[in-house]
Amino acid sequence: MSKYNYDLFVIGAGSGGVRAARIAASYGAKVGVAEEYRVGGTCVIRGCVPKKLFVYASHYSEEFEEAAGFGWTVGERSFDWKTLVANKDKEIDRLNGIYIRNLEKAGVEIIQSRATVRDAHTVRLEAEDREVTAERILIAVGATPYMPDVPGIEHAISSNEAFHLEELPKRIVVVGGGYIAVEFAGIFNGLGVETKQLYRGPLFMRGFDDDLREMLAEEMMKKGVGLRMNSDIASIVKKDGELELTLTSGEILKTDAVMYATGRIPLTRGLGLEEAGVKLGKSGQVIVDEYSKTSVDSIYAVGDVTDRANLTPVAIREGHAFADTVYGGKDVKVDHSIIPTAVFSQPEMGTVGLTEAQARERGEIDLYKTAFRGLKNTLSGSQERTFMKLVVDAKTDKVLGVHILGQGAGELIQAVGIAVTMGATKAQFDATIAVHPTAAEELVTLREKWQAPLVKAAS
Q: What is the set of active-site residues?
A: 436
- E strand residue ranges, 73-225: 109-112, 115-119, 122-125, 130-139, 143-145, 171-175, 194-198
Site membership for ligand FAD, residue 178 (CB under 6 A): no
Please state, as a whole number, how many other Cβ atoms lie within 10 Å of the Cβ of residue 49: 18
Sign of CA dihedral 351, 355, 359, 364: positive
Give dist(CA 231, CA 227) in Å, integer: 9
Q: What's the one-letter identity of residue 27?
A: Y
Q: Which is nearer to ligand FAD, 120 or 315 (CB)?
A: 315
Residue nearest to ligand FAD (CB): 14
Applying CB under 6 A, the span of 32-40, 59-67, 198-206, 275-283 interacting with ligand FAD comes to: 32-40
Which one among 187, 193, 311, 409 touches ligand FAD, defined by CB under 6 A?
Answer: 311
- The DSSP-derived string for 95-135 is HHHHHHHHHHHTTPEEEES-EEEEETTEEEEGGGTEEEEEE
- E strand residue ranges, 207-339: 226-228, 233-239, 242-247, 252-255, 257-260, 264-266, 299-301
The pairing of strands 194-198 and 252-255 is: unpaired
Please give the residues from 109 up to 128 whose contact with ligand FAD meets the rule CB under 6 A: 114-115
- Measure the CA angle with vertex 217, ends 214 and 222; round to 5°: 130
The pairing of strands 115-119 and 122-125 is: antiparallel
Which one among 7, 10, 15, 225 touches ligand FAD, defined by CB under 6 A?
Answer: 15
Which one among 51, 124, 136, 320 touches ligand FAD, defined by CB under 6 A?
Answer: 51
Whether residue 315 contacts residue 304, with contact meaning beta carbons closer than 8 Å, is answered with: yes
* Interaction mask 424-443, ligand FAD, x per CB under 6 A: --------------------
Judged by CB under 6 A, the number of residues near ligand FAD is: 34
Report the nearest approach of ligand FAD to the CB of residue 345 (Å).
11
Which one among 8, 10, 41, 409 touches ligand FAD, defined by CB under 6 A?
Answer: 41
Site membership for ligand FAD, residue 10 (CB under 6 A): no
β-strand partners of 343: 349
Q: What is the CA radius of gyration of the chain?
A: 24
Site membership for ligand FAD, residue 31 (CB under 6 A): no
* Interaction mask 69-108, ligand FAD, x per CB under 6 A: ----------------------------------------
Which one among 10, 23, 31, 43 touches ligand FAD, defined by CB under 6 A?
Answer: 43
Site membership for ligand FAD, residue 187 (CB under 6 A): no
Site membership for ligand FAD, residue 153 (CB under 6 A): no
Site membership for ligand FAD, residue 380 (CB under 6 A): no
Binding region for ligand FAD (CB under 6 A): 11-17, 34-37, 41-43, 47-48, 51, 114-115, 140-142, 159, 180, 267, 271, 303-305, 310-313, 315
